[in-house]
């Protein structure tokens, strides 16, 4: 078969080869490293992965693009499996409040935080949201990210705005090289007018919004912000089960700030991922390990919230919980698209090894989005989503933090950077 692109002489080729399922414990350190590696691509697929040269069955001719991987580290395209990509406005006004010691939930309770982004997102036109999110996607791609999740959640009771966010994500998925997987997060905050009767809003979510989102095919997942003064355990259970009933797979913002028992609920409901988990209980971690719920950890959010508290990632991995890592890119708790920074935080602060980190943002990230049969590893038959880092080894990418090491990016067989 003809090679359209080959990458050869790769100093460190991280394949992540293995079964297409979440990797746990020691498996998270088994990255399928090949030194002096070679990868061949035909059209949008990987057709050969190995060491040294390609076999003669792979045709290389004058049209084949040959990339020299000497001194480089090559990985599967990174997966950012938790973002709030599509939104209006920005919230740098909250910095002064945070510096004075005001907490995230206090700002939210005062009607700021998520509520102020809801106002900005309501006001923004489809095109304005599209252009802003496209800019972020360009940045993500530049950082070597080739698959992204995008949540709604800045319309809440204004269903048209929720739909507008999801439609923007859908259009960007069609137009932009980065693949986007959408999540319905109407249950992101209690709207002002339902403050006295939040169950009424839960009813609207369950009876009207979830069925409609499902019918329109606008989301794959249903998510809920389960938190003190946001959605309770009981309300979250109802919302996630309603999502399941309508074919939306469950995800949960769990135990981000207060230990409500979100991790336990994630195991009970059978969530694909439970995200944040900074305040997750030991029992919740145990239950997640048993049910193989992926812990989607977001250390850049912990950093930005300035609480000094991070998820117990080591304990989770050692207990057998599969771990993925994401940015949580959003205008409030994590205003950055830089997944490489979150990867460094995961290692420097949460003590993950670089091998565990790369597993978390490739195959485990792909599993967090149900994309593990297509992306997340460099193997024959998978999509040619590949990032070439200008770094002599994996440790260097994590250790030399805060900058962008991605030099070239291949998305579905096309050199996009
Ligand atoms: O994952 N915690 C809830 N949702 C987002 C923050 C959204 C916002 O503050 O705008 C998060 O941190
Ligand atoms: Fe989030």
Number of helices (H) and strands (E) in the chain: give both, helices first: 16, 18
> Cα(17) to centroid of ligand 1, in Å?
33
**Residues for the chain: how many in total?**
417
Task: Say if residues 74 and 49 touch (Cβ distance below 8 Å).
Answer: no
Q: From the CA of 227, which ligand is nearest? A: 1
At 178, the pLDDT band (50, 70, 90 cuts) reads: very high
Q: Which is the closest atom of ligand 1 to the Cα of 185? A: 4
> Cα(334) to centroid of ligand 2, in Å?
8
Half-sphere exposure in the Cβ direction for 118 (13 Å, CA):
23
Task: Say if residues 305 and 333 touch (Cβ distance below 8 Å).
Answer: yes
Rounded to an integer, the average pLDDT of 277-297 is 98
Residue 138: name the closest of 85, 67, 76, 84 by CA: 85
> Cα(328) to centroid of ligand 2, in Å?
5
Rounded to an integer, the average pLDDT of 350-356 is 98
Q: Which is the closest atom of ligand 1 to the Cα of 91? A: 10
* Residue bearing tokens 């972020």: 136
With H, G, I as helix, E, B as strand and everything else as coil, classify residue 409.
strand
Phi and psi based region of residue 344 (left: phi greater than 0; alpha: psi -120 to 50; beta: remaining):
alpha
Ligand 1 atom 3: the closest Cα is on which residue?
225
Q: 142-162: per-residue pLDDT in tens?
A: 999 999 999 999 999 999 999
pLDDT of residue 245: 98
CA angle 404, 334, 224 (to 5 degrees): 130
Q: Which two tokens stand for residue 139?
A: 């940045």
Rounded to an integer, the average pLDDT of 397-411 is 98
Residues with a CB atom less than 6 Å from ligand 1: 84, 113-114, 117, 225, 253, 256, 301, 328, 330-333
pLDDT of residue 148: 98
Name beta bridge partners: 59.
2
Pocket test for ligand 1, best of 80, 84, 104 (most atoms within 8 A of CB): 84
Q: Which is the closest atom of ligand 1 to the Cα of 275? A: 1
Q: Which is the closest atom of ligand 1 to the Cα of 114? A: 10
Q: 55-97: per-residue pLDDT in tens?
A: 999 999 999 999 999 999 999 999 999 999 999 999 999 999 9
pTM: 0.98
* Residue bearing tokens 């979440």: 22
Counting residues of the chain whose pLDDT is more than 70, the rounded percentage is 100
pLDDT of residue 172: 98
CA angle 351, 356, 362 (to 5 degrees): 135
Rounded to an integer, the average pLDDT of 292-316 is 97
> Cα(24) to centroid of ligand 1, in Å?
27
Which domains are delineated in the chain?
A: 5-76+377-415 (2.30.40.10), 79-368 (3.20.20.140)
> Cα(398) to centroid of ligand 1, in Å?
25
Name beta bridge partners: 401.
none
> Cα(385) to centroid of ligand 2, in Å?
25
Q: 198-253: per-residue pLDDT in tens?
A: 999 999 999 999 999 999 999 999 999 999 999 999 999 999 999 999 999 999 99
At 352, the pLDDT band (50, 70, 90 cuts) reads: very high
Ligand 1 atom 12: the closest Cα is on which residue?
333
Q: 30-52: per-residue pLDDT in tens?
A: 999 999 999 999 999 999 999 99
Task: Say if residues 369 and 339 touch (Cβ distance below 8 Å).
Answer: no
């Amino acid at each position: 078969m003809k090679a359209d692109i080959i990458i050869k002489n790769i100093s460190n080729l991280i394949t992540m080869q293995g079964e297409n399922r979440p990797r746990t414990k020691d498996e998270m350190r088994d990255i399928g490293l090949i030194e002096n590696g070679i990868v061949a691509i035909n059209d949008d697929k990987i057709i050969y992965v190995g060491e040294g040269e390609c076999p003669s069955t792979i045709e290389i001719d004058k049209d084949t693009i040959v990339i020299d991987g000497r001194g480089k580290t090559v990985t599967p395209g990174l997966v950012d499996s938790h973002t709030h990509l599509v939104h209006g406005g920005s919230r740098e006004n909250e910095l002064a409040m945070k510096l004075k010691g005001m907490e995230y939930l206090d700002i939210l309770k005062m009607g700021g935080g998520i509520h102020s982004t809801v106002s900005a997102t309501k006001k923004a036109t489809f095109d304005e949201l599209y252009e802003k999110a496209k800019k972020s996607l360009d940045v993500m791609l530049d950082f070597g990210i080739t698959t992204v999740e995008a949540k709604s959640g800045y319309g809440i009771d204004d269903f048209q705005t929720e739909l507008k966010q999801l439609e923007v994500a859908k259009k960007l998925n069609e137009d932009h090289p980065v693949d986007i997987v959408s999540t319905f997060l109407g249950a992101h905050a209690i709207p002002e007018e339902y403050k006295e009767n939040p169950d009424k809003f839960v009813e609207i979510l369950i009876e009207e919004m979830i069925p409609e989102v499902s019918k329109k095919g606008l989301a794959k997942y249903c998510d809920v912000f389960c938190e003190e003064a946001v959605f309770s355990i009981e309300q979250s259970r109802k919302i996630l089960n309603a999502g399941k009933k309508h074919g939306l797979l469950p995800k949960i913002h769990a135990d981000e700030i207060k230990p409500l028992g979100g991790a336990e609920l994630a195991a009970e409901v059978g969530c694909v991922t439970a995200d944040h988990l900074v305040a997750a209980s030991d029992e919740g971690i145990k239950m997640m390990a048993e049910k193989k719920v992926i812990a989607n950890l977001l250390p850049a959010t912990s950093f930005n919230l300035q609480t000094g508290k991070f998820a117990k990632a080591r304990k989770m991995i050692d207990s057998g919980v599969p771990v993925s890592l994401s940015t949580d890119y959003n205008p409030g708790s994590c205003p950055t698209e830089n997944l490489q920074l979150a990867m460094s935080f995961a290692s420097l602060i949460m003590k993950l090894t670089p091998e565990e980190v790369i597993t978390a943002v490739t195959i485990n990230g792909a599993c967090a989005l149900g994309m593990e049969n297509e992306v997340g590893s460099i193997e024959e038959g998978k999509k040619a989503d590949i990032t070439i880092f200008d770094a002599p080894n994996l440790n260097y990418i994590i250790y030399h933090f805060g900058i962008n090491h991605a030099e070239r990016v291949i998305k579905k067989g096309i050199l996009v950077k």
